[in-house]
Amino acid sequence: MTHDAMIDEWYPVGLFSQLDTNARKTALMGRPIEVAVEAEGHARVTSGDGRSLPVCVRYGHVWSSLGKPQKDLFAIPEADQPGRTLVDVGVIRVRCSPLRAVENFLDIAHFPFVHTDILGAEPHTEVQDYKVEVRQDADEVWATQVKFYQPQAAKSASGGITTEYMYRVPAPTCCVLYKTCPPRPGEWDVITLFVQPLAEDLCDVWPWMALFDDATPMTDLIHFQQTIFLQDRSILENQIPRLLPLDPGMEIPTRADLTSVAYRRWLKRHNYTYGAQLVAQ
């Protein structure tokens, strides 16, 4: 793979709470890296050739980059809001393109079929009209006014509700989802998918959440999100082609795919192509 713009982005490389002085051996975009915590408590990320890589610790995770990040990691202001429960869901490896993992997270239409009786149920399969834009100031993809009927939208939800969503892609392999918060109307629950690209067709996925939910035990919150993601995993591993197609030649999107179309165009425009297929084969 030639140099592309994704080299200068921040990527999650580990849970900060799980680091110790024994380095965690992992990889970033095909290169081996090591993640460790130093005696004084700072995270340290080293490339295979011994180079110290940029580090920041945010949203429960250690972030790093093989290149030179031009800006700070994207902000999630809700993460600092008092009263939220912050949930480290833990890593799950998926044999798929990191871009496909994000695109699947942006899709609503699969809920009744893959997350049956949790995030969707037949016959409530219609994706109503919603809005998609690339916000020029922040250079992020946003989908708003997304509404969907859900039998059990969150661990804190009892019974079916029509849930409202906003999706936000602030970085090529990260997605932030804002979702109706059953115990606290007016606020949004924040559910993220941070994806570490190990190779173009292999990734470690680090879901993370910032929720208003005092009632549900932490383990139940973790298991709820792991359940959802593991329902997606087998689908993701079977998608063909393995890389995310950025050439529109082979696929016909529908109205429900507006977010995916905007995401793919945004990737292409920025030359974010690690894990992408540029010419239909």
Partner 1 sequence: MKLYDYVLSPSCYKVRLMAALTGVKLEIRAVDFHPGAEHRGPELMALNPAGSIPILEDGDLILTESAAMLTYLAAKAGPEWLGSGAPEETARLQQWLSFAHRLTASLGGARLHEMLLRPGDIGTLQAQGIAALRELEAGLVEQGLRGMRFLASDRPTVADIACFPYVALAPDGGVPLDPYPAIRLWSRAIRSLDNFIEMPGIHRLHELKREHVEPGEV
For binding to partner 1 (CB under 8 A), which residues are involved? Answer: 15, 18, 88-93, 95, 113-114, 116, 122-123, 204, 217-220, 222-223, 226-231, 233-234, 237
For residues 143 and 159, is the Cβ–Cβ distance under 8 A? no
| Burial annotation 139-171 (CB, 10 A radius, 16+ → b, else e) | ebbbbeebbbbbbbbbbbbeeebebbbbbbbbb
Interhelix angle 258-269/98-106, rounded to 10 degrees, is 150
Q: What is the 8-class DSSP label of residue 256?
A: G
Which C-beta is closer to partner 1: that of 22 or that of 219?
A: 219
- Say if CB 205 and CB 95 are below 8 A apart: no
Cα–Cα dist 214/84, whole Å: 8
Write down the least CB distance from residue 277 to partner 1, Å: 22
Q: Which residue number, 181 or 198, has a Cβ lying nearer to partner 1?
A: 198
Residue 226 C-beta: closest distance to partner 1, Å: 6
Secondary structure (3-state) at 148: strand
Dig out the tokens for 186 from the structure. Answer: 């007016």
Q: How far is the CB of 209 from partner 1 (least distance, A)?
A: 13
Q: Report in angstroms how near the CB of residue 186 gets to partner 1 at its nearest.
A: 30
Q: Are 115 and 107 in contact (CB under 8 A)?
A: no
Least distance in Å: CB of 132 to partner 1? 29
